[in-house]
Chain A
């Protein structure tokens, strides 16, 4: 079964600093990978997804993620954090058959002014 590990349940950065949220996956086949964001009291919104077209994936709100097969990683980055980025972020891998998403435990991002 596939699994996702997000390192760090809480990450705190200063406004304007680099954001790095870590995600490692286990999969026996090339996976489809997703990053979702959840703002307080809201549902999940897709930030970006990897579907093997390119290893560097650009998403909304200035976020991007790089797929590294050798490291089984799909870390999320943003060059300069904004206060509005404060939210919980989930990395997910899609099962090979069907459409089930397997989620990591989530990382809460705090942005300090």
Chain B
């Protein structure tokens, strides 16, 4: 089944404890992206990757890191999480980095930072 998977689905952690949220797609997509969803704000892009080894900042990159060493994986790293990073996170992918391509979303990771 073609899909985007994320792990973990739920995570509660404490301030300053490094964490990684994994994202993997099995559709051979070039483009991958991370969004965070907050009530009343919709989804905002954190980082994106046009292809392997190519990443760039989105609208809200502060406090996050990413890497794209393989085409299928795009992990999101929080080196020192803070309570304002409590949010619902979505990974997405699309075949190519062009404006008309549909993005496929993972099931989401709900993160709580205490």
Chain A residues close to B by CB (< 8 Å): 4, 9, 32, 34, 36, 41-46, 49, 51, 90, 92, 94-101, 103-106
Known: A32-B99, A49-B102. A106 touches B42 (CB 8 A): yes
Known: A43-B106, A43-B107, A103-B42. A32 touches B48 (CB 8 A): no
Whether the Cβ atoms of A90 and B31 lie closer than 8 Å is no
Q: Contacts A46-B103, A97-B99, A101-B45 known; list 8 others, CB within 8 Å.
A: A9-B40, A42-B107, A42-B108, A43-B106, A44-B92, A90-B43, A103-B43, A106-B42
Q: Which 10 A-B pairs have the closest CB atoms?
A: A103-B42, A43-B105, A94-B99, A44-B105, A103-B43, A51-B100, A99-B97, A105-B42, A43-B107, A32-B99
Q: How far is the CA of A70 from the CA of B58 in the complex (A)?
A: 30
Chain B hits for A43, CB < 8 A: 4, 90, 105-108
Q: How many B residues are at the interface, by size bracket?
A: 20 to 34
Whether the Cβ atoms of B58 and A100 lie closer than 8 Å is yes
Whether the Cβ atoms of B45 and A98 lie closer than 8 Å is no
Whether the Cβ atoms of B48 and A100 lie closer than 8 Å is yes
Cβ-based interface call for B25 (8 A): no
Chain A hits for B50, CB < 8 A: 98
Q: How far is the CA of A49 from the CA of B101 in the complex (A)?
A: 9
Interface contact tally, CB-CB below 8 A: 67
Q: Which residue of B lies closest to A1 (CB)?
A: B59
Q: How far is the CA of A104 from the CA of B99 in the complex (A)?
A: 17
Chain A hits for B12, CB < 8 A: none
Cross-chain contact of B90 among A44, A49, A97, A100 (Cβ < 8 A)? A44
Cβ-based interface call for B85 (8 A): no
Q: Which residue of B lies closest to A99 (CB)?
A: B97
Cβ-based interface call for B94 (8 A): yes
Whether the Cβ atoms of B42 and A90 lie closer than 8 Å is yes
Cβ-based interface call for B98 (8 A): yes
